[in-house]
Amino acid sequence: MHEDTDKVRKELERFKANKRSGFAVLADPDKIAPADMVHLARLCNNGAVDYLFMGGSLLMAHQMDLCIQRFKSESDIPVVLFPGSPAQVTPYADALLYLSLISGRNPDLLIGQHVASAPQVKASGLEVISTGYIIVDGGVQTTVSYMSNTTPIPANKPEIAVCTAWAGELQGKHVIYLDAGSGAQRPISTEMVHSVSENIEIPLIVGGGIRTAEKVYENCNAGANIVVVGNAIEQDPMLIKDMAQAAHSVGIRQKH
Ligand code: 1GP
């Protein structure tokens, strides 16, 4: 049973209130083996990473639980599920991004799968973070847009992203996640990140196609409270420290 039922959410809210940013490493259980998790945990500890996000759009390898256990044997960094499907909900994690794909018009991903998986989520004892999940065009069709059968928001339409984020906030979501999709050619523009961040009171998570510490910094400076990086770190885990440092170095934001 998880004792502190809103620990991660409160921490995300503090990032927002203090105009600060954190860094999350995304591990895809289809691409990482349990044996790699101890090394990853050490790198995350060393870089003072804020969260390990776990999840993927497929899940062919059913080793999620073991991956999380191995990570936790070496690190106290909270593990937050970022599930591609309800099959990825496991009580071994600390919290669950309870995603509703609000940029799409696929009822199954707005409410259908939530109804079907509600008993499992309730029984998991996980901290549930209600998340307005917004997919933005990243210049290439990503797994998430293909698998979700939804059209991403055009990259040059920040006003649509703002209205979508507002709708999520009005519905009572705890956080907004703006995602260009894993392996996006173009990450979300800092203009869009800034517009959304400026217009919502809830924390903003940003990810998709971010490959350098500079890009992490730019996103945080534009108003992202958490930046998530997966692919680039899979290719070069040594990026973790610089990227986390870049996120943590952003203080009071300047006006754009
Ligand atoms: C994908 O936001 C995440 O959903 C991270 O994307 O793997 O491209 O870093 P990358």
Confidence of residue 85 (pLDDT cuts 50, 70, 90): confident
Domain contains 141: yes
Residue whose CA lies nearest to ligand 1 atom number 1: 182
Bridge-based pairing of strands 22-27 and 226-229 is parallel
Residue 256 confidence class, pLDDT cut points 50, 70, 90: very low
- Residue 32, in any domain of the structure: yes
Q: What is the per-residue pLDDT across 187-197, written as a single tens digit (0 to 9) for each?
A: 999 999 999 99
Residues 35-62 have pLDDT tens digits of 999 999 999 999 999 999 999 876 666 6
Contact (CB, 8 A) for 145 and 135: yes
Claim: this prediction has a pTM higher than 0.85: yes
Domain count, the chain: 1
CATH number assigned to the domain comprising residue 101: 3.20.20.390
The confidence score (pLDDT) of residue 145 equals 84
- Enumerate residues 6+ apart whose C-beta is below 8 A from 199: 162, 165, 166
- Comparing CA positions, the residue from 245, 241, 205 lying closest to residue 82 is 205
pLDDT band for position 87 (cuts 50, 70, 90): confident
Q: Domain for residue 2, yes or no?
A: no
Instruction: Retrieve residue 100's tokens.
Output: 């509703």
Map tokens 């979501």 to a residue.
Answer: 173
202-228 residue pLDDT tens: 999 999 999 999 999 999 999 999 999
For residue 163, being part of any structural domain is answered with yes
Q: How far is the CA of 176 from the centre of ligand 1 (A)?
A: 15
Residue 236 lies in a domain: yes
Distance CA(99)–CA(126), nearest Å, equals 14
Does residue 255 sit within a domain? no
Report the pocket of ligand 1 as residue ranges, CB < 6 Å: 26, 179, 181-184, 207-210, 228-232
